[in-house]
Homo-oligomer: A and B are copies of this chain.
Amino acid sequence: MVAPSPFQRRPVQSRRGGPTKSPLSRDAIVTEALRQLTKFGLAGMSLRKVAAALDTGPASIYVYVDDLEELYALMLDRALASVELGGAHKATWRERVRRVLESYARVLAAGPGLAELALGTVAVGPNALRITERLLELLEEGGVELATGAWAVDLLVLYVTAVVAEHANGLDPAAPDGAVSRAIAGASARDYPRVHAARALLLSGSPEERFTWALDVFLAGILQTPRTARAGASKPAKRKP
């Protein structure tokens, strides 16, 4: 017996309604939670506040949602619905991979909290699957074998999520007053000669520039590192002789 996924569960018949209160529903809960999340960040959202906004007590939420973690998963997938996968365009497959990931990044960066939530939550809803499907398709178009593509999609999505989350946490390396800047600026030339020498470089570049560069790194690396033995690997594996 396996617990059913939260994405496919018997609907619940609300008993509220009429003129005073709109009926509760999983949808309404997710919508309100997402509103709070994107407006106030992860710490600014809570089950209790969602319940209060929906004019009920905290216990009522549990009729529609098992726990906070499940709510997170539902929220994330709802948000991922607006990621644009692009149609059949004339752009290169690389360009189209970039666009999908940029759209994904933009969705996560829409407000504080979403990216943070994405890092701690496994995205396995239908919309996450749609994104995975699309990226596999584009990589296939680029000649990446399925075995390699399967791992590559993981890598790409994880990286983008982490970058946006780091950034959204106010850890913007570019922020000149942040802890990062101060630490790097304060690194002594004696103890950390390279950090010191590279201090301007470490803090340079807009998020977009870094993102674009990172994608180039990934795609170049992926094309050159198939999982199946093949010509082109820069360094033969040499594990089993």
Contact = CB atoms under 8 A, between A and B. Distances in A.
A149 B204 CA distance: 12
Contact of A194 (B73, B128, B146, B224): B146
Copy total for this chain: 2
Contacts of A125: 183
B173 A154 contact: yes
A220 B158 CA distance: 19
A220 B234 contact: yes
Given A180-B124, A220-B234, A194 B137 contact: yes
A201 B94 CA distance: 22
Interface in A157-212: 158-159, 161-163, 165-166, 169, 171, 173, 177-180, 182-184, 186-187, 191-195, 197-198, 201-202, 204-205, 210
Nearest to A92: B235
A129 B216 CA distance: 26
Contacts of A173: 154
Nearest to A210: B151
A186 B146 contact: no
Interface stretch (A29-37, A51-59, A102-110, A115-123): A115-123
Contact of A124 (B137, B183, B193, B214): B183
Given A119-B165, A147-B198, A158-B163, 7 more contacts: A5-B186, A73-B179, A119-B166, A124-B182, A132-B202, A150-B202, A217-B221
6 contacts: A151-B205, A152-B217, A153-B202, A155-B159, A158-B162, A216-B235
